[in-house]
Amino acid sequence: MKLDGKVALVTGAGRGIGAATAEMLAAEGARVVINDRDAQECEAAAAAVRDGGGEAFGFACDVTVPDAGEQLVEAAIERYGSLDIIVNNAGYVWNSAMHNHSDEQWQAMLDMHATAPFRILRAYYPWLKARVAEEAAAGDVTCRKVVNISSVSGTDGAPTQFAYSAAKAAVVGMTRTLAKEWGRFNVTVNCVAFGPIETRLTQEYEDEPPTIDVGGRAFKVGLSAGQTANMRATVPLGRVGQPADAAGAVYLFCIPESDFVSGQLLICSGGLRS
């Protein structure tokens, strides 16, 4: 139980990688705040953690609204009295060739993948600063963790993902900067960039791409059967990753063994790089 006594917040945890991450952290003893914009999925994920013997509650909200950061931090502290791990995982894709990108599309990807984590971390700062001062006065030392989620689209680029790639690249810079700023609070800040992971965003299709609903709007997602086959052929490990694989990479930055690791970028892609 490496995370016994810890409190974790995982955004975008109603399904996929976020849900797998919440389950893995809870299995190691963390009490988990599960966030998703879909209230039904949010509660289902929290129930799954509880059914597995862990402790979790769901807090549904859209992380792109201006006060979402305050809502999430307050909910975690009100429920569990602390907040030790933040995993900024929430996200979706809105793809098209760069010359077809609208201003709305560009801003939506920045708001989702860069601005939302920024606001959550900014909202966390006042409580963090006060708690660390209290602990220092008592002679206690606690290492807290921030894990931001990027993508190989942000590290290597990807066709049709101009705005998404830009936002995910911003996450890497945010991570490295905050690691330097928050080291004095004994907070490690790291980043995991995912490659091909099997989720609803990368689901395989034969004819027409499927869509997901985000705020009442449909967005095309998925990979064609040919794209998936090509990906499997080029990934050195010979397969597409599963949500548990992705969660494992996040977990590495949450456990005590990584308490002296900060400002790092971990590529979780089965060895695939462009």
Which residue type does 267 have?
I
Annotation says 125 is catalytic: no
Spacing of C-alpha 234 from chain mean position? 25
From 237, 234, 124, select the one nearest 189 (Cα to Cα): 124
Using an 8 Å Cβ cutoff, are 60 and 35 in contact? Answer: yes
Number of neighbouring beta carbons within 10 Å of residue 76: 26
**Helix locations, the chain, DSSP H:** 16-27, 39-51, 68-80, 103-110, 116-137, 152-156, 162-182, 225-234, 243-252
Phi, psi (deg, nearest 5) at residue 150: -115, -155
Catalytic residue of the set 124, 164, 205, 251: 164
Q: Distances in Å between the alpha carbon of 54 and those of 14, 22, 38, 189?
A: 16, 10, 21, 25
Q: How far is CA 175 from the centre of its chain?
A: 12
Angle of helix 16-27 relative to helix 243-252, nearest 10 degrees, comes to 50
Which helix H or strand E contains 68, and what residues bound it?
A: helix 68-80
Q: Among all residues, which ones are annotated catalytic?
A: 164
